[in-house]
Structures are given as C-alpha cells and as structure tokens.
Structure 1
Amino acid sequence: MRNIKLTFTLLLFTMLSTEFALAQDWPQLNKYKEANAKLETPAPGEKRVVFMGNSITEGWSNHNPEFFEGKPYINRGIGGQTTPQMLVRFRQDVIDLKPEVVVILAGINDIAGNTGPSTVEMIEDNLISMAQLAKANGIKVVLSSVLPALDFSWRPGMEPAPKVIALNKMIKRYADENGLVYLDYFSAMADAQQGLKSEYTYDGVHPNKAGYEVMAPLAEAAIAKAMKQKQPKGRSK
C-alpha cells in the first residue's frame, strides 16, 4: 500500500510539474531555443527544410532517424501541440532558421481538444496563418494532410475520423487555391474505416517505423515539388 501511495504521489507530482511548466511556457518556446541558437545560417546552395508539427513529426526522428541523416532537414515537432501553440513559435522555430521549405503537419491534437475545444475552421485559420507567415518571409510551403485516426487513447470516444476528413478537404482546397504543395499522407495510410492502418501504427494515431517509411517518399516528393516553385516574395535568399 505504501508503494502504491508513493507511486501515485510521484505521478501526481509529475503531472502538476508538467502543467506548471506548460503554464509558464505554453507554446514551449524553450524546447528548441538552445538548438536554434547553435544552428548556423544556411550555407550557399543549402536547401534547408524545417518540419513543423506535433508528436507525429517529433517521433519521426526516433522511429525513422535515417530519413533525416545527411540531409539539411530540421525536425521541430513537439508532442501534444496544437496549431495555436505552433503559430506562436513559428517565427522562432521556422522563420528564424531561414529554410527554403517548411513542411507543416498539424491539427490532430486540436481535434482531440488538447488545448481546449476547437473547430476545423479554427484549425484551418491557424494553418493559413502559418502558411502566410512563411510566404511573407520567402519560404515555400508544404501543407500536409492530417493522418487518419479512429479514436484517441488519451481521450476516447471523440470520433475524430469525420473531422480529420473535413479538415483535410479544407487544407487541400486552400493549398490548391494558393499555389501551395499539398502532401497527402491520408490516402496512403487510411484503412476501410478511415482509421490508420494497423500495420503503420502502434496506437492508432502515431506511426511506427513502417508508417514513417510510407510517409518518407511522399514527403520527399512534396519537398521536391515545392523546391521547383518560384520563390515567394519576402526575404531575399
């Protein structure tokens, strides 16, 4: 009984510490602050790419690190984040790094309500704001579809699949209408129920190594397409 009480106390302390830290740094600007400071300005001819996202982006470096090896790819994913948090840190974690391209993958945690209730329209608004900030600073934009999901282990019963589909339609429409590259992970990874194929995930939401291996060539093709586009008006290269 004593061990159970101790474990519960430690768990509660960890949860409260995490909540306190987030309250002090809600967008988690300190997560990559030191790493960003160490990054040098891109060398002449370097085609830097920043991946902005949540745990699906962050986990890519853990489950499929070879995707990033030997390439000017920078992972700026933060687990659990929603689009308003990413929008706040977008200048620090994307614009200031002076990439040629940004690959944005976000929205599933908004649907889960991680930082409060959110409509698909609200999510789209934040994604549009990030895209506009990138273009205004001469950065080419890849907007990714949200990956399929039938349920959330941390917040069951929310039935996210219809919202994911609706959001992806909005993202694609905006990308098409504004000359941005739309990166469609969903079509390659969805099962018959519009959830994430079991062979590509370990929890129904996050990709495993096989999932990232499906995503990798799709991302590479989208980046190559974006690289060929005319440089947006903004900072000079």
Structure 2
Amino acid sequence: MAITLRAGSTVMFTGDSITDCQRLESEDGLGFGYPLRIAGEWGLRHPDRPVTWRNTGMGGHKVRDLEARWQRDVLDARPDVVSILVGVNDMGWHSLDPQGYVISAEEFEAGYDRLLAPLAEAGAELILIEPFLLPVHGVVEAGPVLIGEKERSAWRADLDPKIQVVRKLARRYGAQLLAADGMFAGLGATAGPEHWAADGVHPTPAGHAALAEAWLRLVA
C-alpha cells in the first residue's frame, strides 16, 4: 500500500552524495537531484497538499556516518516520512582508500537496523532506496583512484549482499522499497548505463529523474 502524504507532512531525505547533490549550495536546501525533482513534481500535482521537504544527505557518508548524526539530523526533526539511500560508500571500493574501510553485509545490516528501529518506534513511514551500481565502460575516477571494469566487478560482488540487506529490512519494517538497482539495470539495457550514471554511481539528470519518478509511485 502506498504511503499517503497529507497536507503538512514532513518528508526527510537522507543518505550520501546521491541525495546530498550540493544541497548546501541550493537556495531551498534540497540540492539539485532527485529530492528537488520530487518536491517540484509533488507541488505541481498536489497544490492542495503542501509538504515540508528536508534533505540531510552528506557526500561520502556510510551507514556508520548516518548513525553518528541520526539523532540530530533526522530524529530531532520528527519527520512523518523518511527516505534513505545509503550503501554505495559501504561497498568494497573503499578498501582501496588509505583507511582501508571494509564492512561486512552483517555489520551493514546491524547498523542500518539501528537507523530504522527508532523511526519505526516513532511511527514514521519509511522508503528505502536500494544502493545501485551501473556497469559503465572504461576507466572512471572513484575518490583518489582510477577504477576499471575489473575492479567494478569486485564491487558488484560486495554490493549485492548489501542490496539484499536493504530488501530484507524493508520487509522487516513494512517499508516501501525503491528497487533502484534493478530499475537502472533495465534502463541501462536500453539507453546504455552511462546515460543514467556516467561513473556508474552518481546519477545524471536523467538518472535523478528516473529516481524521482519511481519514488513518486510509492506515495499517494
């Protein structure tokens, strides 16, 4: 059953750079990605149901980073709906950075669960967006290193169990699931993966539009 957004509802988007999308440089604090597109489309369709939209995404953040700021940035706002997209920075490519960050699927699940439990207790509605990785071609830049297709194949092996975790948690908490990885796989088969995310991770304008359209199908 779709989530019902009522007049006066507060919707919180949070996660990593895909959600952040330069929000601190934007006039309304929503950034320039899918949260802005969602807010704009909702306002166009439902002028009689104004909603407060907030974005607390931060570039580079992992589950543990969200957990460290969860009370201040999310719980204290008492949102009615919380939309979360996190996991790509918990993927294996961070093992290549100087800090050598690695997190198992089990640790990822435990940390993500600690984010969701207090929201469920407070009665917030939840939308969980799968992390995703598109099979772009050639060499792309990922943080301080250049990554080829061989490395991205290893990322996929690390990410797939974490996508399964997000699906499992959506079932556990009765959350709406935006199956973004499968969605982009299908879209990439038609227009090519680079059309949706040039580096395989960060959506293009078309990719953000696809996320926004899929998100809006989950609410009524």
1:101 aligns with 2:63: no
Matched residues, percent identical?
Answer: 22
1:207 aligns with 2:192: no
Displacement of 1:83 in angstroms is 0.7
1:138 aligns with 2:123: yes
Q: Computing the radius of gyration over CA atoms, which structure comes out larger, 1 or 2?
A: 1
2: CA distance, partners of 1:101 / 1:63: 18
1:153 aligns with 2:142: yes
Map of 1:86 onto structure 2: 66
The DSSP-based 3-state class of the residue aligned with 1:206 is: coil
Query: Are the equivalent residues in 1 in contact too, given 2:62–2:86 (CA < 8 A)?
Result: yes
Given candidates 38, 50, 62, the residue that maps to 2:12 is: 50
CA RMSD of aligned residues (A): 2.5
Residue deviations 1:27-68 (CA, integer Å, cap 9, x gap): xxxxxxxxxxxxxxxxx9411110110000011722453433
Query: Are the equivalent residues in 1 in contact too, given 2:37–2:209 (CA < 8 A)?
Result: no
1: CA distance, partners of 2:75 / 2:170: 19
Q: Which moved more, 1:154-163 or 1:134-143?
A: 154-163
Structure 1, unaligned runs of 5 or more? 1-43, 225-237
1: CA distance, partners of 2:172 / 2:75: 23
Q: Which moved more, 1:115-124 or 1:99-108?
A: 115-124
**TM-score, normalized by length of structure 1?**
0.67
Structure 2, unaligned runs of 5 or more? 1-5, 22-29, 44-50
Map of 2:32 onto structure 1: 62
Query: Are the equivalent residues in 2 in contact too, given 1:61–1:68 (CA < 8 A)?
Result: no
